[in-house]
Amino acid sequence: MVCLATMSATALDDIQFNVEGGGALQKDLESASLLLSVQEEGIDDPRDLLATSLAEYERLLNTLYANGHYGGVINVRLDGVEAAAIQNFNVPSTVRRITVDVRPGQQFHFGSTQITPLVQGTQKIDEFRNGEPAYSTVIQSAVESAVDDWRHAGRAKATVRDQDLTANHQNKLINARIWIDPGPLVRFGQLRHTNASAVRTSKIERIAGLPEGEVFDPDEAEAAANRLRRTGAFASVVLREAETLGPGNTMDMLLTTADMKPRRFGFGAELSSIEGLGLSAYWMHRNLLGGAERFRVDAAVNGITPALNNLDVELDARLDIPAAFGTDNDAYVEVAGLWLREPSYNILGAGIEAGVKRYFSPNLEGEIGLGFAYAQVTDSFGTRSFTTVKVPAMVEWDKRNDSLNPTRGFYVRADAQPFFDIGRGVGAWGLLDARVYRGFGEDDRFVLAARGQVGTVVGPNPSQTHPDLLFYSGGGGTVRGQPYQSLNFASGTGTVGGQAFLGGQFEVRVKATDTIGVVGFFDVGYLGDTGFFGGTNAWHSGAGLGVRYNTALGPIRLDVGYPVTGGVRSPNPLRNVQLYVGIGHAF
């Protein structure tokens, strides 16, 4: 029994909710109850209470059916009077007590069950068999599964033709026979846009890639809608099937879209106790030339400290052209310029790159391009210039359940860049970034997260390699608790990066409340000066605690790290503390 008292002395005092037998079924009925929800909201108007009481019968009856009880008795009484017997013109002026009594009766089981015809090679779901509990939800799932199988076999108009459901109350059995009408084999017709859009109709059709003339497949239809959503040019995309079939059993698909506002801008900030303040901003146009082309300009200034002696400035402009080489094959052109003042080197450079982006599946994509870059570098080897022709390539496989706040799944990205440096010869750079997430407990309250990175550059020796292709460790992206790029190798009067890198980051994430999370982390990094084996190598690690505040844009991150092994430490422990603030998880 549930008794919930209110503070009112003249209105509803309490609701009694009684279920014969109690147990798990009572919890399901209480969760489904409209009256209990109404009382929590403080509603006590008699007419509202009567209307809710009348709806309570059907709500509880459906819950009984969902649990396999088909002989139940439900009473809902308002001050002792059955709600169903109260006439609309004779509503009481006040309601003090509502009593809900449910006698579920015995649970029914399936007797004979049949769904016919089925697609060749498919079977009924296991729960829809003789002797199994006769949950109404199982019947519904079995029918939906059978219809869905026919739709995936090209029968777009498959539907239930007839059904015979009988209850044997003496033996507590439900006999269910359902007949499916598969309908004809259907082929995709035309893609018909039902409203105007700033994106050209011909480009919409090219992006969507609906396979006109091929056998209908609901997955193909959903993929076509997702391709349009992927462009970012539309606020909503709805793709519906035509009600009637056309000549030759073709079926047109009706597309309704709403355009996004074409222009958008944004900004961000990150703070590190060592690297200083970082500011970033972007401006974007989602439909630059009327074909859902995305043009985006990004600017970032990092290393903002009082001395401004490590100031970095980066400017990037990129144009993405969807379906430039056919459906799922985009093109891009990118121009970038930078001025970096890193601890080990300074770079003033610019570059241009063009390439193709291929979507292999909703979770797998890749890029390959051709680029040219020029840079003037000052480091421990002096001031030099690098003129490079490169072939950057990338493959990304994302199976996370949520890209902003993942609790399950994995993410893998592999980057490779063969290059030819005029005057220094050929080489290749590569980096593998793999992440895995596993949640535990109710609503994944506890999450274990791990990240591994492997990087290498081969070809010229370190003194002849562009310093931006060498690897360093330390800071938010590698080892928290260690100063930025603090793991390196001595070279003359300065330092130089390594040609091999291994990194590991490990986190335990705990959800304290719906919006607050606590994180413990341990990071480790390894550098090899000329490779993974032989030569000089070095390790360091760091650990710490963090806090996360969840927002719609992702969690706001505050991490406090401290060195564990390696590195040069100050005698003052407080000077060894590293602080990181940003938006989004560290990985």
DSSP string, 378-408: EETTEEEEEEEEE--EEEEEE--S-SSS-SS
Token reading at 110 = 């399936």
Q: CB of 246 within 8 A of CB of 188?
A: no
CA 80, CA 403: separation in Å to the nearest integer? 54
Q: CB of 158 within 8 A of CB of 183?
A: yes
Token reading at 156 = 């777009």
* pLDDT value at residue 6: 37
DSSP string, 213-248: TSBP-HHHHHHHHHHHHHTS-EEEEEEEE-SS--GG
Q: Which CATH number fits domain 187-259: 3.40.50.10490, 3.30.56.10, 3.40.140.10, 3.10.20.310?
A: 3.10.20.310
Closest CA to 437 of 429, 446, 428: 446
* pLDDT value at residue 257: 96
* pLDDT value at residue 552: 83
CA 491, CA 97: separation in Å to the nearest integer? 85
What strands lie across the sheet with 234-241, from one edge to the other? 187-193, 250-259, 234-241
CA 176, CA 497: separation in Å to the nearest integer? 72
Asked if the bond preceding 104 is cis, omega within 30° of 0, the reply is no
* pLDDT value at residue 273: 64
* pLDDT value at residue 121: 85
Fold agreement between 109-181 and 187-259: yes
Closest CA to 64 of 126, 134, 167: 134
pLDDT means over runs of 10, the chain (587 residues): 40 87 92 88 87 95 96 94 90 91 95 94 87 95 95 96 94 95 96 95 96 96 96 96 95 96 88 77 96 96 80 95 96 96 90 97 96 94 93 98 94 97 93 97 94 95 90 93 91 88 97 94 95 88 96 89 91 90 89
Q: Is the dihedral of CA 373, 264, 294, 412 positive or negative?
A: positive
352-583 folds as Porin (2.40.160)
Token reading at 215 = 């056998």
| 312 half-sphere exposure, CB direction, 13 A CA radius | 17
**What are the angstrom distances between the C-alpha of 262 and each of 286, 287, 322?**
5, 6, 15
CA 306, CA 229: separation in Å to the nearest integer? 44
Closest CA to 61 of 28, 87, 38: 28
Domain boundaries, the chain: 2-103, 109-181, 187-259, 352-583
* pLDDT value at residue 143: 95
Closest CA to 175 of 110, 268, 102: 110
* pLDDT value at residue 9: 40
| 388 half-sphere exposure, CB direction, 13 A CA radius | 30
Q: CB of 396 within 8 A of CB of 357?
A: no
CA 575, CA 96: separation in Å to the nearest integer? 67
CA angle 436, 475, 573 (to 5 degrees): 115
3-state secondary structure (DSSP) of residue 132: coil
Q: Which CATH number fits domain 109-181: 3.90.110.10, 3.55.30.10, 3.10.20.310, 3.40.50.300?
A: 3.10.20.310
3-state secondary structure (DSSP) of residue 168: strand
* pLDDT value at residue 513: 92
Q: Backbone dihedral region of 308: left (phi > 0), alpha (psi from -120 to 50 degrees) or beta?
A: left
CA 565, CA 274: separation in Å to the nearest integer? 18
* pLDDT value at residue 451: 98
pTM, 2 dp: 0.81
* pLDDT value at residue 164: 95
